[in-house]
């Protein structure tokens, strides 16, 4: 497992940090990512409910990606903290995989827990899910 933190930069909202974590694409390591998610969200003063929502969303996104990950490769997670928002991009190496279906239950869970969710396939052998969560954002009833 490796971790990299870029030098802090400041935007109009105050804070802007980027933290990258790389770990084996195996579900046994997801607890490390959940803990990192909670710690970084707490740094932005997210409420306990927002932190738990984000932890569950990151865990669910990773679980979706791990089913398509090439064995023996890494899962990378990039956390971007800006003012009142956290952007999380989790990514794995794949072989000919298709993006997650947006009408499946797991995708619905993601969209209920995060403010914005997107699946990204920048190349045929990489798949990513990007989540955004804003502090204090009202969720639809």
CA-to-CA distance for 3 and 78, rounded, in angstroms? 10
Distance in angstroms between the alpha carbons of the first and the last residue of the chain: 39
Q: Provide the token pair at 26.
A: 């195996």
Decide: 31 and 50 in contact? Cβ < 8 Å: no
CA-to-CA distance for 1 and 110, rounded, in angstroms? 25
Q: Is the pLDDT of residue 100 over 90?
A: no
Decide: 119 and 99 in contact? Cβ < 8 Å: yes
DSSP secondary structure, 82-103, as one string: ETTEEEEEEEEE-SS--PPPTT
pLDDT value, residue 138 = 60
Q: Is the pLDDT of residue 137 over 90?
A: no
Three-state DSSP class for residue 28: helix
Q: Is the pLDDT of residue 104 over 90?
A: no
pLDDT value, residue 7 = 46
Q: Is the pLDDT of residue 141 over 50?
A: no
Q: Please, what are the domains in the chain? A: 18-134 (3.30.565.10)
CB atoms within 10 A of CB 141: 3
User: Alpha carbon of 24 to those of 33, 48, 62, 66, 76: distances in Å?
Assistant: 11, 28, 12, 10, 9
Partners of 138 in the β-ladder: none
pLDDT value, residue 3 = 52
| Structure confidence by residue, pLDDT tens digits, 65-96 | 999 999 999 999 999 999 899 999 999 999 87
pLDDT value, residue 80 = 97
Average pLDDT, the chain: 87
């Amino acid at each position: 497992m490796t971790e990299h933190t870029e030098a802090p930069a400041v935007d109009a909202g105050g804070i802007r940090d980027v933290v990258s974590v790389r770990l084996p694409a195996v579900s046994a390591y997801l607890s490390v990512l959940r803990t990192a998610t909670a710690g970084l969200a707490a740094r932005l003063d997210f409420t306990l409910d927002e932190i738990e929502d984000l932890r569950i969303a990151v865990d669910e996104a990773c679980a979706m990606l791990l089913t398509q990950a090439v064995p023996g490769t890494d899962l990378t997670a990039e956390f971007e903290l800006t003012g009142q928002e956290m952007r999380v991009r989790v990514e794995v190496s794949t072989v000919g995989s298709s993006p997650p279906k947006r009408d499946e239950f797991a995708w619905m869970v993601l969209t209920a827990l995060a403010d914005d969710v997107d699946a990204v396939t920048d190349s045929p052998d990489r798949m990513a899910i990007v989540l955004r969560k804003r502090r204090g954002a009202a969720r639809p009833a």
